[in-house]
């Protein structure tokens, strides 16, 4: 970069060469004590937090001083993975293979009926190879449809109800994610029915294609979304064009290869990058972003190589040995957030003091140019470890975390500042074009939508035709809300603020984000 003064360090606890140094021991011990004595964490959450602290005492994998400077400045950050991340951030196992062939390691036989299939899946989730909880639990309708008629329909529904209840109780997080569609199936219909009845926090995506998804099935999904804020409506034709058939959606709305996963997510704070670059958008596009891109790629490659070569994660791993995961299907995310602030910075710095992303044509056009330029930068910086996406980092729009101050998640218009419905869609749609690794637009409707789900589906169709890649819809009177991308219950946010322990880990993250930006509960509500 140059000698221009950088922002303050993103995280004072990060150390880029020596790991836990003597001067940090007291801070570390206090962090451990605070976690142990927390009133808002249950045992499992404390255990996971303490394990993360222990891993964070290790030094970062080798990187250049300039790359370390970008991390220390907060222009780039690693989203809580720790300096020496010893497992991939996300994975998408081939559960169909598990059901068809069983598992020697898990001592599971091939599933013979619906009860055996659901029991095998619950067992597999317990041993999920990444994170603390299974962020991908399968294309569930495809997985269970071959077994659905092994029982009478009412019994099959009871089995699915018990299965869905156990998924939530054993894996309490809005990051746990299942996919449905695009075709209609008996299993898919029953799963939507059960989800609407139980109102669990487990996330869902409908891979929606008007040519392949029957309208009645899509309308059933719309009804669910207006009540429980899921499923997402994913633009399946657009995803097929970019990924082919072997993709899945996991965690919030993250795309990856089936039998693959994501090594790491390294984020670019576009607000800080824009401020660092000065007031000239052309300098930002032509000089700053390309240089950041080189260092971005260096960090991603270093962290990915650490997992592959130092930790040797793919060796002696039954998920790999038995064919549920393949190294050549893995990639990594180059994530971005604060696009709104970056576009506003340049627009306002050049005389348009009232210009705002979402409302100003120049700011909107610049935002689209920035995302297109980032795509070009990522394409120009090969990362050999990322064979799942042709040796290139996968462009991702990241939803935001507690420490993100004064920024808007991903590439969205700030909550509470959205223009009218169609302008909102047309503002964000051009940014979705290049972001193949995961991006979403959030729309919230008032009670008029429940009486007219067909009109809501028409809006979804129009949004997808305009270029929106993924759409989250919900209702202002639903007990569920998306805080940036986290699916949480409103009651859980209140309970967390009252320092009550919660089962759902995503509630704490959502509550933390809300402390910094309460507007996430004050989106513009749309009428139908």
In this prediction the pTM is 0.94
Q: Is the pLDDT of residue 77 over 60?
A: yes
Residue 78 falls within a domain, yes or no?
A: no
> Is there a single domain that holds both residue 121 and residue 51?
no
> Is there a single domain that holds both residue 101 and residue 205?
yes
Q: What is the Cα–Cα distance from 206 to 183, expressed in whole angstroms? A: 10
Residue 373 falls within a domain, yes or no?
A: no
Q: What tokens does 301 get?
A: 């490659």
The residue assigned the tokens 């991006």 is 439
**For residue 382, how many other CB atoms are within 10 A of its CB?**
13
pLDDT by residue (tens digit) across 98-146?
999 999 999 999 999 999 999 999 999 999 998 778 999 999 999 999 9
> Is there a single domain that holds both residue 39 and residue 147?
no
- Where a domain ends, among 208, 233, 255? 255
pLDDT at 275: 95
Mean per-residue pLDDT, 20-25: 84
Where do the H-state alpha helices sit in 317-442?
A: 318-321, 339-349, 361-379, 421-432
Q: Residue 381 has what DSSP assignment?
A: S
Q: What is the Cα–Cα distance from 133 to 86, expressed in whole angstroms? A: 16
Q: What is the Cα–Cα distance from 218 to 235, expressed in whole angstroms? A: 13
Residue 145 falls within a domain, yes or no?
A: yes
Domain count within the chain: 3
pLDDT by residue (tens digit) across 425-482?
999 999 999 999 999 999 999 989 999 999 999 999 999 999 999 999 999 889 888 8
Q: Which of 114, 116, 182, 119 is nearest to 145 (CA)?
A: 114
- Where a domain ends, among 255, 280, 300? 255
Residue 386 falls within a domain, yes or no?
A: no
| Alpha-carbon radius of gyration of the chain | 22
Contacts of 525 (CB under 8 A, 6+ apart): 444, 445, 446, 476
Q: What is the Cα–Cα distance from 135 to 171, expressed in whole angstroms? A: 9
Q: Which of 251, 320, 256, 253 is nearest to 97 (CA)?
A: 320
Residue 200 falls within a domain, yes or no?
A: yes
> Is there a single domain that holds both residue 35 and residue 144?
no
pLDDT by residue (tens digit) across 256-305?
999 999 999 999 999 999 999 999 999 999 999 999 999 999 999 999 99
> Is there a single domain that holds both residue 146 and residue 50?
no
Q: Which domain holds residue 33?
A: 20-57
- Write down the mean pLDDT value for the chain: 91
Q: What is the Cα–Cα distance from 504 to 481, expressed in whole angstroms? A: 14
């Amino acid at each position: 970069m140059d000698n221009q003064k950088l922002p303050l360090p993103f995280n004072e606890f990060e150390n880029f060469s020596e790991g836990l140094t003597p001067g940090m021991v007291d801070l570390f011990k206090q962090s451990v004590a605070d976690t142990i004595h927390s009133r808002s964490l249950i045992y499992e959450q404390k255990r996971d937090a303490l394990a993360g602290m222990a891993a964070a005492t290790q030094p970062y994998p080798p990187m250049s001083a300039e790359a370390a400077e970008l991390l220390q400045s907060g222009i780039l950050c690693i989203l809580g993975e720790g300096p020496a991340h010893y497992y991939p951030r996300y994975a998408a196992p081939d559960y169909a293979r598990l059901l068809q062939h069983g598992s020697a390691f898990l001592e599971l036989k091939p599933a013979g009926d619906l009860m055996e299939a659901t029991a095998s899946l619950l067992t597999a989730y317990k041993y999920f190879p990444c994170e603390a909880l299974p962020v991908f639990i399968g294309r569930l309708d495809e997985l269970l449809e071959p077994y659905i008629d092994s029982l009478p329909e009412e019994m099959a529904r009871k089995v699915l109800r018990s299965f869905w209840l156990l998924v939530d109780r054993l894996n309490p997080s809005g990051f746990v994610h299942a996919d449905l569609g695009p075709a209609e199936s008996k299993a898919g219909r029953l799963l939507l029915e059960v989800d609407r009845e139980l109102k669990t926090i487990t996330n869902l995506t409908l891979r929606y294609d008007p040519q392949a998804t029957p309208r009645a099935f899509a309308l059933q999904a719309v009804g669910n979304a207006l009540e429980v804020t899921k499923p997402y409506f994913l633009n399946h034709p657009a995803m097929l064009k970019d990924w082919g058939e072997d993709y899945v959606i996991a965690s919030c709305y993250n795309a990856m290869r089936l039998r693959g996963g994501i090594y790491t997510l390294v984020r670019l704070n576009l607000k800080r990058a824009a401020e660092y670059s000065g007031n000239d958008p052309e300098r930002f596009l032509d000089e700053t972003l390309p240089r950041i891109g080189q260092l971005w790629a260096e960090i991603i490659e270093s962290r990915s190589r650490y997992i592959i070569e130092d930790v040797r994660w793919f060796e002696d791993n039954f998920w790999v040995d038995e064919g549920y995961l393949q190294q050549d299907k893995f990639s990594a995310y180059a994530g971005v957030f604060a696009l709104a602030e970056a576009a506003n910075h340049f627009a306002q710095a050049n005389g348009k003091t009232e210009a705002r992303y979402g409302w100003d044509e120049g700011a909107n056009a610049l935002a689209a140019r920035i995302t297109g330029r980032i795509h070009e930068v990522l394409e120009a910086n090969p990362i050999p470890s990322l064979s799942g996406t042709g040796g290139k980092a996968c462009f991702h729009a990241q939803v935001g975390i507690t420490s993100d101050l004064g920024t808007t998640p991903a590439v969205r218009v700030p909550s509470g500042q959205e223009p009218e419905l169609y302008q909102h869609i047309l503002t964000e749609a051009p940014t979705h074009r290049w972001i193949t690794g995961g991006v979403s637009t959030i729309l919230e409707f008032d009670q008029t939508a429940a009486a007219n789900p067909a009109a809501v589906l028409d809006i979804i169709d129009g949004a997808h035709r305009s270029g929106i890649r993924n759409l989250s819809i919900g209702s202002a009177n639903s007990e569920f809300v998306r805080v940036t991308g986290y699916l949480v219950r409103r009651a859980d946010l209140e309970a967390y603020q009252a320092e009550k322990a919660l089962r759902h880990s995503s509630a704490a993250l959502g509550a933390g984000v809300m402390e910094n930006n309460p507007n996430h509960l004050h989106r513009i509500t749309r009428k139908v």
